[in-house]
Amino acid sequence: MRHIIAALFFFSSGQAFAQTPGSSDIQSGKEIWQGYFGLQNDCKLCHGDQGEGGFAKPLAGHQLTSAQFLRAVRQGPGIMPAFVPDKNLNDQQVGQVAAYLASLPKPTGAAPEWHTRVPPLATPRQKLMVSSGCGQCHGPVMANPRRTAGSIGADFEWFRQEVYEHTTAPLNVNRPHLRMGNYSKQQISEATLKDLWEFFANEQGLRVPIGAQISAGVPSGNGVTYTITLQNTGTPGKGLTAEYITVTLPLLRGKDPEEVTTMVEATTGGGYTGVHRDVITNSNAAEFEIPRLAPGEKRTFTITLSGKGANVGIPRGMVKWEKPRLNSGGTELIAVTTPLGQ
């Protein structure tokens, strides 16, 4: 009942206060909170999906004025990066987000968990990375930026610019919209930045940006043919080269894993090494091996299958490479994906 009266009061007095956000602002703010310019909105990763808090304090039911809210977003309080109007959220969008969050009930109960927690076996530098906030958006091992770094053979100077001058850094200057803001040296000191780089480039290691896709099956004279495209999307002359690459394509298996139901009739593209046991899927798998894939290089293979299951696709393909070895000890392993729409 009290809510209804409050709501009536709100609508009837709305006219009198030019600053009172209208319901359309709240609605727009809600939409922006889900994502903006077709991008994810990362505020949620620190402040909670519904503004209930997490790594950072709750924003639901806040009582900041729109000017105070905007100042916080532009300055970056605590360890929050400063978001800029032209690349991140513009002033109007921030105002709408502020209105939406103010309209939500204040959270009650215990503070929620961090979106990315410090892994139990974290090294001191990994702990620093997650608790500095980077890990809230980038996950516990910063997998994506390490891949970008591997695509250009990045160095510390690149890392420095990406953190302190993110929104004008060379790779980002021509991108219309960005999700990460800029950090100041008060927030991330030079010494901390060096530790973060040490974690990023040496404890974990830069990654080779390899992508692998498999086409839909095309019926041919002796079976069904699939085309596999393997590409190192790094910049030629700059990016990392992968070595000792294996493409594993698990074939459909019967109830008994030894039962052979699908046969390989032919391959093209070179590097085919036959059908082997795949320990991950516990089934027979056709394998290709290639010695190296340099940045910018693309290789195409085909495989023609016959027998039962030849036409169901090869959904669980994987690509791995031995070098550069991840410093965490493992080898890189990625999935062979099917292009959108298949």
Residues making contact with ligand HEC (CB under 6 A)? 42-43, 45-47, 55-57, 59, 62, 64, 69, 72-73, 77-81, 83, 89, 97, 132-134, 136-138, 144-145, 148, 159, 162-163, 178-180, 183, 188, 196
Q: Would residue 282 be called left, alpha or beta, if left means φ above 0 and alpha means ψ between -120 and 50 degrees?
A: left
Under 8 Å between Cβ of 165 and 182: yes
Cβ distance 201 to 207 under 8 Å? no
Q: How far is the CB of 126 from ligand HEC (least distance, A)?
A: 12
Burial grade of 258 (CB within 10 A; 0-12, 13-18, 19 or more)? exposed
Q: What is the closest distance, in whole angstroms, from the C-beta atom of residue 326 to ligand HEC in the complex? A: 17
CB of 316 to ligand HEC, least distance (A): 27
Q: Which residues of 291-313 are buried (b: 16+ CB within 10 A; e: fewer)?
A: eebebebebebbbbbbbebbeeb
178 vs 310, beta carbon nearer ligand HEC: 178
Nearest-5° Cα angle at 315, 313 to 317: 115
Which residue shows structure tokens 């970056």? Answer: 76
Question: Tokens for 25?
Answer: 């602002």
Q: How far is the CB of 7 from ligand HEC (least distance, A)?
A: 25
DSSP characters for 226-239?
A: EEEEEEE-SPTTTS
Closest CA to 238 of 182, 178, 314, 294: 294
Give which of 283, 293, 282 is closest to 320, Cα–Cα. 293
Nearer to ligand HEC, 79 or 275 (CB): 79
Q: How far apart are the C-alpha atoms of 145 and 149, rounded to whole Å?
A: 6
CB 69, min distance to ligand HEC, A: 5
Residue 137 or 318 having the CB closest to ligand HEC: 137
Between 275 and 326, CB nearer to ligand HEC = 326
Beta carbon of residue 219, minimum distance to ligand HEC (angstroms, whole number): 41
Structure tokens at 192: 């901390």
CB of 331 to ligand HEC, least distance (A): 22
- The verdict on whether omega for the bond into residue 209 sits within 30 degrees of 0, i.e. cis, is no
Nearer to ligand HEC, 78 or 236 (CB): 78
Q: Which is nearer to ligand HEC, 183 or 226 (CB)?
A: 183
Query: For residues 199 and 226, which CB has a smaller minimum distance to ligand HEC in the complex?
Result: 199
Nearer to ligand HEC, 182 or 248 (CB): 182
Run of H or E residues at 17: none
Smallest distance, ligand HEC to C-beta of residue 262, A? 39
